Amino acid sequence: MSGTSLDGVDAALVDLSHIQPKLIDSYFIPYSASLKTSLLQLHQPAHDELHLAQLISIQLAKIYAEATLALLKKAHINANQVQAIGCHGQTVRHRPEHGYTIQLNAPALLAELTNIHVVSDFRSRDIAAGGQGAPLVPAFHDQVLRHPNIHRTILNIGGIANLTDLRPNTVTTGFDSGPGNLLMDAWIHLHQGKPYDQNGAWADSGECLPSLLNRLLSEAFFTTQPPKSTGRDLFNLHWLKQHLQGNERPQDVQATLLALTGESIVRAIQQFCDGTQEIYLCGGGAHNQALAAYIQGALPHCLIAKTDVLGIPADWMEALAFAWLAHQTMHLHHANLPAVTGARHGVVLGAIYPA
């Protein structure tokens, strides 16, 4: 898994022979600064972008292969013991309203380098059926985190934040709520050269600017009814700068961006996941203590904890989910949730590249 945060590649080795998936081992390879810069450039139209996209796809496949082989070596597992690799690829455009989504990857090369079946391109089939192609992880949450009597909401805070509403005796729903870490990460990198705001400490040193927060929250996406999904195509530094007056202290903008993520999540839970009793956090933003405190303060009656307490490590949720999605594909099982993505019907996700 390599997500919107553009921090690197998560590789998870997963045992799916039982109802509860078991994380056997994991491995992480960070992106180089140059690769991250190139990926960010591809989120906007540029000269010769088709050639650049193909070159980066090949580079990514080599990194995916490196992560896979290093993980297998670490876990003392042979490639022939692995059923398949589920490789999401790196999203650079997500435009379901135009009928497409683009995840950079070279799955044929990945299969060649690892000698393992590869499942990729998970989103396109759902979009072909009229869906958003995202979020896809709620189907995994539905399988492994649902409780028969307790109303749980799973909050994944990656670059984008998304919610899964696991209301008892009700069809699972889910959607993107808005920015997760990506605006906070971009702003602190711009001003301090750091990849992220650890524990929200820099945001904590500033003061939220109510007028700026209200301008940011006026974005139409926040009041759009689900199904809905978003990404860097909408939420990026250019979008942020359009709302700034230019005289704000950087730490105050950071505090406001944390409030934007927190407030958009809280409002989404109150509006679409009403009655939630427990909120479980996953993704990199689960470690942002200031953000968790904001959400807890706004929803004092909800228990808030990381998904670790349910047996799924918060840092590896999405990697485990795409292993599960690949497993569904290999067995030709439907893996999208039409109530989440808006697809007309259930579909088998992904394309298979045999070893």
- Quick: pLDDT tens for 186-218: 999 999 999 999 999 999 999 999 999 999 999
Q: Are residues 102 and 42 in the same domain?
A: yes
Q: Are residues 29 and 76 in the same domain?
A: yes
Q: Are residues 82 and 190 in the same domain?
A: no
Q: Based on the structure, what is the number of domains in the chain?
A: 2
Q: Are residues 176 and 96 in the same domain?
A: no
Whether 138 is in a domain gets the answer no
Whether 259 is in a domain gets the answer yes
Whether 90 is in a domain gets the answer yes
**CATH number, residue 244:** 3.30.420.40
Q: Are residues 305 and 349 in the same domain?
A: no
Q: Are residues 82 and 106 in the same domain?
A: yes
Amino acid (one-letter) located at 7: D
Q: What is the pLDDT of residues 314-352, one digit of tens each?
A: 999 999 999 999 999 999 999 999 999 999 999 999 999
**What's the whole-number mean pLDDT along residues 231-236?**
95
Q: Are residues 158 and 201 in the same domain?
A: yes
pLDDT of residue 319: 97
The interaxial angle of helices 210-217 and 250-272, nearest 10 deg, is 50
Whether 140 is in a domain gets the answer no
Per-residue H/E/C for the chain: CCCCCCCEEEEEEEECCCCCCEEEEEEEEECCHHHHHHHHHCCCCCCCHHHHHHHHHHHHHHHHHHHHHHHHHHHCCCHHHCCCEECCCEEEEEEHHHCEEEEECCHHHHHHHHCCCEEECCCHHHHHCCCCCCCCCHHHHHHHCCCCCCCEEEEEECCEEEEEEECCCCCCEEEEEEECCHHHHHHHHHHHCCCCCHHHHHHHCCCCCHHHHHHHHCCHHHHCCCCCCCCCCCCCHHHHHCCCCCCCCHHHHHHHHHHHHHHHHHHHHHHHCCCCCEEEEECHHHHCHHHHHHHHHHCCCCEEEEHHHHCCCHHHHHHHHHHHHHHHHHCCCCCCCHHHHCCCCCCCCCEEECC
**Residue 19 pLDDT grade (very low, low, confident, very high; cuts 50, 70, 90):** confident
Q: Are residues 239 and 261 in the same domain?
A: yes
What are the φ/ψ torsions at residue 29 (nearest 5 degrees)? -125, 120
Q: Are residues 207 and 342 in the same domain?
A: no
Which structural domain, as residue segments, surrounds residue 72? 8-133+315-353
Count of Cβ atoms closer than 10 Å to residue 18 Cβ: 7
Whether 141 is in a domain gets the answer no
**Residue 138 pLDDT grade (very low, low, confident, very high; cuts 50, 70, 90):** very high
Whether 139 is in a domain gets the answer no
pLDDT of residue 302: 98
pLDDT of residue 260: 98
- Is it the case that residue 58 has pLDDT exceeding 90? yes
Q: Are residues 161 and 215 in the same domain?
A: yes
pLDDT of residue 73: 98
What are the φ/ψ torsions at residue 170 (nearest 5 degrees)? -140, 150
Whether 65 is in a domain gets the answer yes
- Is it the case that residue 306 has pLDDT exceeding 90? yes
Q: Are residues 41 and 181 in the same domain?
A: no
Q: Are residues 109 and 60 in the same domain?
A: yes
pLDDT of residue 4: 87
**What's the whole-number mean pLDDT along residues 70-76?**
98
Whether 307 is in a domain gets the answer yes
